[in-house]
Amino acid sequence: MPRRVVILGCTGSIGRQALDVVQRSGGELELVGISAGRDWQQLLEQAQQFGVDRIALADPDAAARASEAWTAGTVLSGPEGLVALVTEGDCDLVLNAIVGAAGLLATVATLGEGIDLALANKESLVVGGELVNQLAEATGAQILPVDSEHSALHQLLAGEGAGTVDRLLLTASGGPFRGHTAQQLADVSAEQALAHPTWSMGGKISIDSATLMNKGLEVIEAHHLFGVPYEQIDVVVHPQSIIHALIQLCDGATLAHLGYPDMRVPIAYALHHPARTEVPVPALDLVSVGALTFEPPDVETFPCLRLAREAGIAGGTAPCILNAANEVAVHAFLEGRLQFIGIAAVIEQTLSKLPAQTVHSFESLLAADADARRVASELIEA
Ligand SMILES: NC(=O)c1ccc[n+]([C@@H]2O[C@H](COP(=O)([O-])OP(=O)(O)OC[C@H]3O[C@@H](n4cnc5c(N)ncnc54)[C@H](OP(=O)(O)O)[C@@H]3O)[C@@H](O)[C@H]2O)c1
């Protein structure tokens, strides 16, 4: 029996690479539902190519246009449409590749139904880590990380017993501005920030990589995925992006996960788990790679990594506020309304204006998210 898969955020960078994994699966993976935000034309093309008859668009206007253009299947609309795609589609696995906190609802819907979740949308765990984990525990659904570092950690930790792991190490490429001074960062453009040296990704995560916020979000993600305290999670800059993560063990051994940077590797791992499948990436040739280098992250020049770690340690609504302020600031930077160095400043000021509260429910997270977006927007407009 094929594994029945829904891909949310199918028109994005991860979504399109996941389609490639499905196409190469030789029928082991069957696509039963796909979604996008508003790019209804690309989504319809994908539905037709993969014979999918249920699609969802978060944007109601886009859903209406898709409904007019396509009568061969069902078009679901709005956030509730995304939820219905997951909960009423009789699927075995959902890949959440939506960008931003907008992905939390789909994570909750998936885990709430007891459906296994391949999670690229790290913001779900950053915003609602504790509640998301409680939900997964309550229903018995698995969370399979798709982020390359966390996929590496998942594989490295699989063979280790309780109490043997001292430390997790996430690698970071350093982004396009590695080695820049604060002065050099003052007038960098969106185009420069989008040009990631080793990974080809969507716009938001590319900017997060340039500010090092992406690595900060990943530290919080690792804390929730693997239940490891923050003081045992480190970041090391490794510009070649060959080593994705390492674990240090109590007996002095350190294990690493290596491979050329290609997101189809962690996507295939999550979609086929626990089986392994062939992915068309070259075998690692260490001689041609030559040298693997490492350096500490520059948290003075790139304060977002420090801000994220602090928010994670503060807990409660702090990571949710951090994430929302970051989304607003990144959006403003991409639209030319905020300087690159203003991103961290907006986040820090938003966090200082909104002290962390205890999280009681998903509703309290939605309220914190809305407050942070309002405050961050006001700071940018001031
Ligand atoms: N790209 C990577 O290599 C990579 C690696 C590791 C982790 N991730 C994580 O994976 C997630 C997706 O990243 P990406 O680079 O693939 O992003 P992306 O290229 O920007 O794609 C985002 C997807 O989400 C959809 N979307 C946007 N806003 C939405 C909303 N409000 N509701 C529902 N769907 C919405 C988009 O639809 P439209 O096309 O209609 O806008 C698109 O399908 C992020 O959380 C990112 O951090 C990405």
| Sequence spans of domains, the chain | 3-145, 147-260+281-299, 315-382
What's the mean pLDDT in 157-168? 94
Q: What is the pTM of this model?
A: 0.97
What's the mean pLDDT in 165-182? 97
What is the percent of the chain where pLDDT is above 70? 100
Q: Could you tell me the distance, in angstroms and rounded to a whole number, from the CA of residue 7 to the centre of ligand 1?
A: 11
Alpha-carbon distance of 92 to 26, in angstroms, equals: 17
Closest Cα partner for 93 from 154, 6, 15? 6
pLDDT in tens, 321-358: 999 999 999 999 999 999 999 999 999 999 999 999 99
Q: Is the pLDDT of residue 171 over 90?
A: yes
Q: Could you tell me the distance, in angstroms and rounded to a whole number, from the CA of residue 71 to the centre of ligand 1?
A: 26
Ligand 1 pocket check for 13: Cβ under 6 Å: yes
Ligand 1 pocket check for 375: Cβ under 6 Å: no
Confidence at residue 198, expressed as pLDDT on a 0 to 100 scale: 79
Largest CA distance in the chain: 63
**CATH class, 315-382 region:** mainly alpha
What's the mean pLDDT in 102-123? 98
CATH number of 3-145: 3.40.50.720
Ligand 1 pocket check for 261: Cβ under 6 Å: no
Ligand 1 pocket check for 63: Cβ under 6 Å: no
Ligand 1 pocket check for 122: Cβ under 6 Å: yes
Rg (CA), the chain: 20
Can you say whether residue 26 is alpha, beta or left, with left for phi > 0 and alpha for psi between -120 and 50 degrees?
left
What's the mean pLDDT in 118-146? 98
Ligand 1 pocket check for 38: Cβ under 6 Å: yes
pLDDT in tens, 186-235: 999 999 999 988 777 899 999 999 999 999 999 999 999 999 999 999 99
Pairing type for strands 243-249 and 254-258 reads antiparallel
Confidence at residue 197, expressed as pLDDT on a 0 to 100 scale: 80
Ligand 1 pocket check for 33: Cβ under 6 Å: no
Average pLDDT, the chain: 97
pLDDT in tens, 42-54: 999 999 999 999 9
Q: Could you tell me the distance, in angstroms and rounded to a whole number, from the CA of residue 315 to the centre of ligand 1?
A: 25
